[in-house]
Copies of this chain bind each other. A is one copy, B any other.
Amino acid sequence: MREHWLQVPEWSWNHSTENQPTYVHHWVQQLNEITHTPDMILYGAPISRSSISVSGASLYPTEFRRMWKGFATFNLDEDVDLTSFQVADAGDVTMHTTDILLSHQHIQETSAYLARRYPHTRTCMIGGDHSTTACAVRGIKEAFTNETIGILQLDTHLDVRDPAELGPANGTPIRQLIDGDIVKGKDVINIGLHGYYNAKPLIDYAKEHNIQMVTLKQARKQGLIHTIQRALEQLSAKVDRIYVTVDMDVLDISVAPGVPASTPGGMTAIELFDSLLEIGKHPAVQHIDFVCLDPSKDSPVAETVKTGVYAWLQFISGCMLQTR
């Protein structure tokens, strides 16, 4: 039986041997080419046929890697050189063309494999639609059976629709995890909710299961960074490891044309960047994913994908500030 379903992505790894890398594509390494344990493992989960509405989020892992060539490895805001943090790209999980459950199984097994084999390394999954989060968290739970997992969710939606009705679609991951006893409702904090985008029965479910709903309006009133900090403190007091899931639809529609479910009233890019810097700083955050970005709908200047790469680098910057 295969342990994992990773496929090396088709891009060139031209690491100059002498100089320090100055751009992301010269810095990130391929997992199967290194021998040491990296600080973070990156892997793609390119599936979006499990999305309720038409989505090309399956194209994101490839575009994410293509667009990172435009980013330098130095964070001017924090005066941090990223190159001492080691990121290894494990490639993408192999997907089946029509068997969605099998594809989900691959994600789960691969997540379990990576978590077991690199138990002290942060993992970062690039989706795919939000159904992938349920798979990844289940995989991690498999690897760390005795640990409790808490979820910090940045999202416009609760994602607690009923899998009995839809199957494991992108609207259901949090409910899958709660109903499946993988994560407790009280250990889920959603920051980013706003407006008229969650039907009453879903809110009722969330209340019933004690999911903590923090609207963007509340978060802004209290200070978004303060809200993030408090959420992480709360969770880390209760659980063994924190999984952060960033549904890119938490962004405002004006800055995220490439996220079909983004809405007016969402986060600004700056708010997302500040949040991720803060999240990276917290030692209990071991796992993160970025989901639901459909590059085929992005603006001609690839605004959303660029925002996605930036957000990911902010998380890494946070990790580095933590270890200082």
Contact = CB atoms under 8 A, between A and B. Distances in A.
Nearest to A206: B76
A55 B53 CA distance: 11
Contacts of A12: 10-12
Contacts of A222: none
Contacts of A253: 301, 303, 306-307
B73 A198 contact: no
Contact of A269 (B58, B101, B254, B310): B254
A54 B52 contact: no
A56 B296 CA distance: 12
Contact of A307 (B193, B264, B303): B264
A81 interface: yes
A97 B169 contact: yes
A205 interface: no
A134 to B, nearest CB: 12
A198 B265 contact: no
Interface in A222-279: 252-255, 257, 260, 262-265, 269-270, 273
A254 B252 CA distance: 11
Contact of A255 (B77, B199, B264): B264
A48 interface: yes
A22 interface: yes
A22 B11 CA distance: 20
Contacts of A197: 71-72, 76
B264 A74 contact: no
Count of this chain's copies in the oligomeric assembly:
6
Contacts of A10: 11-12, 14
Nearest to A203: B74
Contacts of A196: 24, 71-76, 82, 310, 313
Interface in A52-73: 52, 54-56, 58-59, 71-73
Contact of A265 (B167, B262, B310): B310
- Size class of the contact patch on chain A: 35 or more
Given A98-B168, A167-B97, A200-B20, A75 B195 contact: yes
A78 to B, nearest CB: 8
Given A50-B98, A77-B215, 17 more contacts: A24-B196, A49-B100, A54-B54, A72-B197, A76-B193, A76-B194, A81-B200, A82-B196, A97-B166, A97-B169, A196-B313, A253-B306, A257-B300, A262-B301, A263-B306, A264-B307, A265-B270
17 contacts: A11-B12, A22-B201, A54-B55, A54-B58, A72-B197, A74-B203, A76-B193, A76-B194, A77-B217, A82-B196, A97-B166, A98-B101, A98-B169, A99-B100, A252-B269, A257-B303, A265-B273
Interface of A: 10-12, 14, 20, 22-24, 48-52, 54-56, 58-59, 71-77, 81-82, 96-101, 131, 165-169, 193-201, 203, 213, 215-217, 252-255, 257, 260, 262-265, 269-270, 273, 296-297, 299-301, 303, 306-307, 310, 313
6 A-B pairs with the lowest CB-CB distances in the bound complex, closest first: A98-B167, A49-B49, A22-B199, A54-B56, A97-B166, A264-B307
